Structure 1
Amino acid sequence: MVNLEAPSSSEEGVGGGGVSQETLRKRASRMRREMPEPELRLWMELRHSRFNGLKFRRQVVIGKRIVDFFCPAKGLIVEIDGDTHDWEADKYRDDTMLRNHGFTTVRFNNEQVMRNLHGVLERLKSVLDETADRWPNGRKHHPQTPSSEEEGAY
């Protein structure tokens, strides 16, 4: 039987803890169905290209990590962190994601989202405005992506 519990930060970040791409995809699917309240509140603002006209995906497998939200057009990852996150480990994972995939990460914590969603959205808009488009001609949606096996090979 496959364990579908959400992976810990250490499993997601440093080599995926030996977790297969199939397992990560199943976990991501479950995480999409069972989103914590802060992630759900932010998702309501990001879904259907509502925010800045940009497409966001939620609970996305990138390499050996599951990220909370991903904007393909900007190559921007948005993470919503609980109180138990290890900031030093998160920085290492974010640096690794940038180095291996070219994706920048912006982080907010649960309290910021719950108490000041407007401020979070303003900061996110600022980061998006400062981030170059990944594709020519201002395309807002991503082209076809490689298979998960190809992504995991990086």
Structure 2
Amino acid sequence: MRGADESKTERARHLRAALTDAEGKLWYRLRARRLSGYKFVRQEPIGPYTVDFICREARLIIEVDGGQHANSLRDVVRDKWLTDRNYRILRFWNNDVSSNLVGVLETIFTALAETPPHPDR
């Protein structure tokens, strides 16, 4: 199984180095606890998936998607797998992050203020 873990880590490293403009813009605001002291990490492997951003403490995943994700069955399956493990997921389109960053941050802040699900449920 070690080879699979190394592959996930390498993929995450590659994705961290290749952020989209929208991901980079959001990451600048999320990193270093800029959002009310919550810590986010980027391109984090969780099970068979890699999420764009996650606040582990709040079990909140943030995804920033381009048009290729519209009506994606793969995303539906992925989201179900993650929510079955008590993660919450917020998805934003690239253009939302680019044109309405304040609104995106307000939505994230509101989600952070909500009580996260207990990991054992």
- 3-state SS of 1:20 partner: helix
- 3-state SS of 2:67 partner: coil
C-alpha displacement of 1:102: 1.6
C-alpha displacement of 1:84: 0.7
* Structure 1 residue 112 corresponds to structure 2 residue 96: yes
Instruction: Give the TM-score normalised by the residue count of structure 2.
Output: 0.87
* Structure 1 residue 95 corresponds to structure 2 residue 83: no
Hey, what does 1:46 align to over in structure 2? 30
Larger Rg: 1
Hey, what does 1:68 align to over in structure 2? 52
- 3-state SS of 2:77 partner: helix
C-alpha displacement of 1:73: 0.7
C-alpha displacement of 1:66: 0.5
Unaligned runs of 5+ in 2: none
* Structure 1 residue 128 corresponds to structure 2 residue 77: no
Q: Where do 1:27-46 residues align within 5 Å?
A: 27-46=11-30
Cα-to-partner distance string for 1:24-63 (whole Å, 9 max, x where unaligned): 2101101111211000000000001111110000000000
Bigger shift: residues 87-96 or 59-68: 87-96
Q: Distance in 2 between matches of 1:91 and 1:128?
A: 22
Q: Which of the pair is proportionally richer in strand?
A: 2
- 3-state SS of 1:45 partner: helix
